Amino acid sequence: MHFHKIHGLGNDFVLTRDLDPARHDLARTARALCDRHFGIGADGLILVLPSEKADFSMRIFNPDGSEAEMCGNGIRCFAKYVYEQGLTEKTNLAVETLAGIIKPQLKVSGGEVQEVRVDMGRPRLTAAEIPVAGFGPGPVREAELTVDGTKLTFTAVSMGNPHAVIQVDDLARLPWQTLGPAVESHSAFPRKTNVEFAQVLGPQEVQVAVWERGAGATLACGTGACAAVVALSLTGRLERRSTVHLPGGDLEILWAENDHVYMTGPAATVFTGEYLLDLATLA
């Protein structure tokens, strides 16, 4: 299996065209490939596939084998892959995902993708769309949640995948890596949830630590950065155009007047290679 290892702000992925969804157990394959000791090592496996609705189709699997609807950092890596591998000459793409059609715009210099601006679409804000249980059918803003004896206040947002954004005063003093998995699997989230712990630094600046559903603590999360800006804008703590500081670097997020969220950030290829394990054993 030929593959590329590409990361967006340290959120790293294995991308390949060589896996047939009809022939392989993709959950089991993702667990094997993403293992950092016995596999390639990654925060996710991304399949590059044809589409009847868009230029390409993207499927993404977490290290635990679960399939995600979308991934903000992953789709920037996907856009870099398809352009630099000569699969397209377009710099404005339409990519089919489980969250709908997502539209990356590529900034190219010298044949290489330097930066990707992604139209992430409209945020979903009602409990049924996200989904969230036990807080009524409408928007869930600054709702109280108790996990492991700790009371947290969260705002729920979906960017095609569910997010619980928790505003905190001091990230450095919060045991977020312990609280993250407890929130992820809380009964309030029927499909589990990604969790963002967000410390506002200024009207256009926020620091975010992410616990990703199915992946754990990661260095960056594109949909999470978008969700954080939306949630904190809704609650009056942040402006709609803001910089999100993540452990792996910064993303620029704009929640525009047309209600679409735009994410801008880099993607970088780490290495390419061949995976030699007989994938027939994973069928």
List residues with catalytic annotation: 71, 221
Counting every residue, how long is the chain?
283
The DSSP 8-state label assigned to residue 66 in this structure reads P
Report whether the peptide linkage leading into residue 181 is cis, meaning its omega lies within 30 degrees of zero: no
d(CA 50, CA 205): 38
Rounded distance between C-alpha atoms, residue 221 and residue 251, angstroms: 9
Taking the alpha carbons at both ends of the chain, their separation in whole angstroms is 14
Picking from 61, 3, 6, 24, the residue whose alpha carbon sits closest to that of residue 266 is: 6
Quick count: other Cβ atoms within 10 Å of Cβ 268?
17
Q: State how far the Cα of 45 lies from the Cα of 26, in Å rounded to an integer.
A: 9
Cα dihedral 61, 26, 93, 230 in deg (nearest 10): -20
